[in-house]
Amino acid sequence: MRTRTADMSTSTGTGTSSLRGTLLLDEPLGRYTSWRVGGPAKRLYRPADQQDLACFLAGLEADEPLFWLGLGSNLLISDTGFPGTLIHTQGCLNTITAHSDTQHSETRGSGEAAATTLRVEAGASCAKLARFASRLGLVGAEFLAGIPGTLGGALAMNAGAWGGETWPLVERVRTIDREGQIRERARSAFRAGYRQVTGPEGEWFLSADLVLAPGDSEAAQARIRTLLDQRAATQPIGLPSCGSVFRNPPGDHAARLIEAAGLKGRRLGGAEVSPKHANFIINLGEATAREIAALIDLVQDAVERHSGIRLQPEVRRLGAFS
């Protein structure tokens, strides 16, 4: 493995650029995914801020494979890794700014709920966002506490839990393309459905303005605690997984269909359908990405044979699995 930190004259492909972020070469990806599997990326870049990211992207060659990585949930990276560049936003691009109609002020920690709009960068975790909003006395984002990912991922798939979804909160977003051009886009530029979002192609989310109503801070924080207690009681928290593997089909639940097919506890190598929640596949400690992918396929086939319903995965595969 070769690693290095970007400096003021780091080459990014076609030339040199003044970069302030961190560039890692041949970086193993298992440590970056919630399943704890995945081979190396050719390059992984952690930008210092949005302008640094724009500078890095502007130097990439046009045919360079590119992928964005947040908390690494809902993502299965192959054992052979990714032959391109990953933009890693965890630990950076994660500021949350609260503002009113008349001023913008960066707010951290508890305080009065003077603002109804939060500008949230794509690398901020959904759990951090939910806690931040509740401490300010802003309500409507409590459900995000149960989503194991970043806002960027939540925007890309309209993530939801406990009856809430991401895009009803969105007023506008900021995006960036692979040439490093940053754009402001209204919510109307995107169409959000169940676990899918369509919009301008070739752009990734940098931040979003979320509109939240003032409410009872203590009640919002209590609701978050209740939701997290419910999550801990029903899901295999603390074990390597991606969260829910399959989308719920209309009028039904993927977990019920998987359990009805007799698949709870089914193992393939080091991967197992969770005995606690059938829509979770857990890494028992030594699973490979190939074993997890094979178990996903097995569950799809078995459920279809049993119920006639072909479950659709929420998880995205990255790299070669053939």
CB atoms closer than 10 angstroms to residue 229: 10
Please give the structure tokens belonging to residue 157. 């798939």
Dihedral angle at the C-alpha atoms of 261, 266, 268, 269, nearest 10 degrees?
180
| Euclidean distance between CA atoms 77 and 41, whole angstroms | 10
Tell me which of 17, 34, 207, 244 is the catalytic residue.
Answer: 244
With contact defined as beta carbons under 8 Å apart, do 296 and 288 qualify?
A: no
Does 244 qualify as catalytic in the annotation?
A: yes
Does 195 qualify as catalytic in the annotation?
A: yes
Tell me which of 195, 231, 247, 256 is the catalytic residue.
Answer: 195
Tell me which of 27, 121, 259, 314 is the catalytic residue.
Answer: 314
264: nearest Cα among 254, 248, 253, 276: 276
Please give the structure tokens belonging to residue 107. 């707010």
* Alpha-helical runs (H) found in the chain: 50-58, 126-135, 151-157, 217-234, 254-260, 289-307
* Pairing mode, strands 196-198 and 104-106: unpaired
With contact defined as beta carbons under 8 Å apart, do 64 and 13 qualify?
A: yes
| Euclidean distance between CA atoms 249 and 190, whole angstroms | 23
Dihedral angle at the C-alpha atoms of 281, 287, 293, 294, nearest 10 degrees?
-100
69: nearest Cα among 82, 80, 56: 82
With contact defined as beta carbons under 8 Å apart, do 253 and 230 qualify?
A: no
Catalytically active residues are 195, 244, 314
